[in-house]
Structure 1
Amino acid sequence: MVYTTFIILAAPATNTDMSLWGMVVKGGWLMIPIFILSIIAIYIACERYWLFRKTGINDVAFMQKIKEYIQNDNMKAVLAECEAEASPLSKTIAKGIVMQGEAPSEIRQAMEETANYEVALLEKGLPTLATCAGVAPMIGFLGTVVGMVQAFYDMSMAGSNIDITLLSRGIYTAMITTVAGLIVGIIGQLAYNFLVARVDKIVLRIEHHSSEFINLCLRKK
C-alpha cells in the first residue's frame, strides 16, 4: 500500500490592515457626495446644538425680572430687558408689551405669530439635516448596485480566467459605500431627532411663559 502524505504549507502572514483613507479611496467616486453630506450634517448639527444650548438658559430669571417690572408698571424697563435678552421668548414678550391696550385675544394672537416666526428661525437647517440623513444611505445603496455591476462586468471580461482579485474593485465599492452611507444616515437621523426634541421643549417654554405673561397683564388691569 502506498501512503501519500499531503503537507500543507502555511503562507507567511502578511499585514492586511487598511487605513481609513485607503478604504475611502477603494469606495470610489460615490464616496465624494457621501463625504460632502457628512460635512453638511455635522455642521448643521453642531451649529443648531450650540444655538439651542444658549436658548432658554435664562428664561426663569428673565421672567422673574419681567414680573417685577410689570408689577411696578415699568413697561420701558420690560422692553429694555427684552432687547437685552434677545431670545425667542423675550421677542415674544416684547410683542405683547407693544400690543398693550388691545384686546387679550389680539395680544395672544400677535404673540403666537411672533413665537411661530422665532421657532421657524430655530428650525432653520433641520430640513437640510433630515435630507442628508435620508440621502446618504441611498447613495450608499447606489454604490452597492454600481459595485455589483462592476464586479459582473469584470467577470464577463475575464471569461474563464476568473480570479477573486478581479472582483475586488466592485466588491470594495459595494461594501464601503454602503457602510459609509449608513453611518452618515444613522448619525444624521439621531442628530435630527435630538434637535427636534430640543425645539419642542423651547416651544413649550415659550407657550408657558407667554400665558403667564398674559395672565399677569390681565390681573394688573
Structure 2
Amino acid sequence: MRILRAAGYRVMPWKNGGGTTTEIAVSPDGAGLDDFDWRISMARVESGGPFSSFAGIDRTLSVLTGEGIVLDIAGRPPARLTTVSAPLAFPGDVPTSAGLIGGPITDLNVMTRRGRMAHKVERRPLSGEIRVAPRADTTLVLAVNAGIAVFTHDASDLGPLDTLVLDQDGPELRLEPKGPGLLFVIELHRLAANR
C-alpha cells in the first residue's frame, strides 16, 4: 500500500493541446501518452470541443466538480454526465466531443490499453465506514471533497484528491470519511494473455 499525495501529481498538456491534465498515476512509471498500459488523470475543462483521440484505448470519465458535461460519442446518443452520474465508459479512439452544461468542470479520466488491460470505476458516496478489498492487479482509491482515515496496521490519512494504491490480495481496508464527499475505487486488471 502506498499513498500518492495530490501535491505531487504531474501537470501536463492535453494530447490535442487544448488544456492541461493532472496525471495521478501511470503504468509503467514514466510512460508517455503513446506507451502506457494504464493512466489515471484529472482535467479541468474550461470550454467545449473535441476530445483527444487515443488509438487502442478504453476510457471511463467521471465528473468531480462543476455542473456537468454532455458527451457526443460517435454512434451513441448524447450522454449527460454530472457529479451524481455513474462513471461513463467509452472507446478512446472514436470521435468524441463535449459541451459544458454550465461552466468549467473537473473530470476524472481512467484509461487502459485495449487487449492488455481492463478497468472498472466505482463511485461511492462518503457516508459512514467504507471497506475496500483489493482483488484487482492494482486498485486505486481516490478521495474527493473530503479526507479519509485509513485503518490498517498503521493508521494513515488521505487528504482530498490524495490516492491510495493497493496491490492485489492485500488486506481489506477500513476507511472512515472526515466529511461529505465521494470516493472512487478504480480496479485495474491485466488480461490473461499479458501476464
Common fold, TM-score beyond 0.5? no
Please, what TM-score do these two structures have when normalized by structure 2? Answer: 0.19
Higher strand share: 2
Higher helix share: 1
Q: Which has the higher contact order (CA 8 A, sep 6+)?
A: 1
Bigger Rg, which one:
1
